[in-house]
Amino acid sequence: MTGVLAYESSELDWCEDNYKHSEHIAEYFNTMSSLFFFVISPIMLYLLHPYARERNLAVHLVWIMMIFVGLFSAYFHMTLSFMGQMLDELSILWVIGLCYALWFPCRLFPSFIKDRTTFSRLVMAVTVVTTLSSFVKPTANAYVLNCFALHIIYSLCLEMRVCTDQKALRLCWSAVALWVLAISCWISDRFGCSLWQKLNFCYLHGIWHILIVIAAAYASTLIAYLDAKYEIPYALPGLQYWPSDNWLFGLPYIVLKGSTKTQKRC
Ligand SMILES: CCCCCCCC/C=C\CCCCCCCC(=O)N[C@@H](CO)[C@H](O)/C=C/CCCCCCCCCCCCC
Ligand SMILES: [Ca+2]
Ligand SMILES: [Zn+2]
């Protein structure tokens, strides 16, 4: 057991120099940038509360679990332990599973699935199997997770093809652009480390942490907004940005201009 908790017991080691700034923290900047999850998650919990209250309080689990993703990510980069790696990757997998169960559009369900409860059970089964398989070849886990990201983007493209809502389209492009920037940093840190070491700039993985949490905030709000338009149309959902709609950068959230509760569709 102590083996998997030991410092540097993971096969992964990111580009940032180890123990450069602290003898107890393997990758200082990567650890500190994981704390960004603690900043964004409570804000998103607060901003999405009106939508969650109307639609399903389980929506709050997404950003509660993202706090754990940040915690496990910080623990992983602090220790580079195998336990840290698995906690980091499996917590991401379970957040993605939860997002699928909550928000994947009914009209994109496989034909043999008739309702969200059955779909959620299928997602649960896939998540459990993926969790167990992740111990077979742990170095492949990150690539499997990135494949889920590609499927999310593909599903978003299907949804946006029929969307004429300019605010939703802008949010979609912003989310995709942030993801492209984030994944470029992740790949560059993974495969271009010798170049970045020559340039004395080994912080790309830390920058990935900051960009991916914002991309997740954008993408999850967009999917929740499309879901709200379909499932609770009487609540007249709209999109706004915090702290101000007029700022170039802000966190998106859903405003509900109507209120009466009626029967949900799925
Ligand atoms: C219908 C589904 C809607 C889904 C909405 C999006 C839900 C967001 C879910 C997860 C958030 C990702 C959190 C990333 C944590 C990063 C921690 C980390 O750096 N881990 C690395 C090791 O330190 C590890 O190597 C990373 C592995 C890859 C993770 C891939 C995450 C995919 C995130 C998907 C984000 C969607 C963005 C879509 C943009 C249009
Ligand atoms: Ca390192
Ligand atoms: Zn990381």
Pocket of ligand 1 (CB under 6 A): 69, 73, 76, 88, 92, 95-96, 99-100, 103-104, 142, 145-146, 149, 152-153, 156, 175-176, 179, 209, 212, 215-216, 219-220, 223
Average confidence (pLDDT) over 138-161: 95
Indicate whether 201 pLDDT > 80.
yes
Q: Using pLDDT thresholds of 50, 70 and 90, give the confidence band for residue 97.
A: very high
- Whole-number percent of the chain with pLDDT over 90: 93
Q: Using pLDDT thresholds of 50, 70 and 90, give the confidence band for residue 260.
A: low
Q: Give the tens place of pLDDT for each residue, 219-244.
A: 999 999 999 999 999 999 999 999 99
Average confidence (pLDDT) over 134-156: 95
**Residue of higher predicted confidence among 208 and 1:** 208
Indicate whether 62 pLDDT > 60.
yes
Q: ipTM strictly over 0.90?
A: yes
Round to whole Å and give the CA distance between 224 and 218.
10
205 marked ligand binding residue: yes
Indicate whether 264 pLDDT > 70.
no
Q: Could you tell me the distance, in angstroms and rounded to a whole number, from the CA of residue 191 to the centre of ligand 2?
A: 13
Please give the pLDDT value at position 261: 67
Q: What sign results for the dihedral spanned by CA atoms 156, 92, 182, 244?
A: positive
- 109 phi/psi in degrees, rounded to 5: -60, 145
Please give the pLDDT value at position 6: 96
Any residues with CB less than 8 A from the CB of 216 and at least 6 apart, and which? 66
Average confidence (pLDDT) over 169-190: 97
Please give the pLDDT value at position 262: 56
Average confidence (pLDDT) over 85-93: 98
Q: Which atom of ligand 1 is nearest to the CA of 179?
A: 39
Q: Give the tens place of pLDDT for each residue, 26-61.
A: 999 999 999 999 999 999 999 999 999 999 999 999
